[in-house]
Amino acid sequence: MNKSIIISDEESNNQSIKFSQVRNASRGIVLNDKNEILIEKFLKYNLYTLPGGGIENDEEPSKSFKREVLEEAGLRCEIIKQLPNVVELRNKQDYKQTNYCFLAKLCNKNVQNQNLDTHEEEDGLEISWYPLFEGIKILLYQIPETEQQKFLTLRDKIIIQQAIGDLFNNSNLFIK
């Protein structure tokens, strides 16, 4: 079983609480051969996040992540490593989300156009490549404005922290 890191809006990190809203998602870090990181920006909220989204039905988390990258960026990626899960316990919203997290590298250039859902279009989702250090700075130092943005920002910080050793030590990636 993969390790989980819990973030909560209350002191209790009790996962056994029954939440009325439960969602599973997959997300992570995608790098290209120029040592750039793929980052999403939601223009409506001026919010940067790592790519990912909801897991559909009985979909495997790794397949979900690859599908999300393909839909949101039109790119295919290869998963290098599964990172610890990040579990969000949003007690004030009666909401629990388990994020299955991955470190991946780009397989090829654009293979299709973006296939955004209505919410992503309305929120002005844009995808961009950033030099690795610049992208990490953008994700780590943005200031969240809402409770939800606090969770999203903290979640992405944890994913980066969990991947940092691999980013600089894994020969399957391009960083030397």
Label residue 85 exposed, middle or buried (CB < 10 Å: 0-12, 13-18, 19+): buried
Average pLDDT, the chain: 88
CATH of 4-169, one of 3.40.5.10, 3.90.79.10, 3.90.1150.10, 2.60.120.280: 3.90.79.10
Domain residue spans of the chain: 4-169
How does pLDDT run across 64-90, given as a tens digit for each residue?
999 999 999 999 999 999 999 999 999
Residue with tokens 């470190």: 103
Region of 108 (left: φ > 0; alpha: ψ -120 to 50; beta: rest) is beta
Say if pTM beats, i.e. exceeds, 0.85: yes
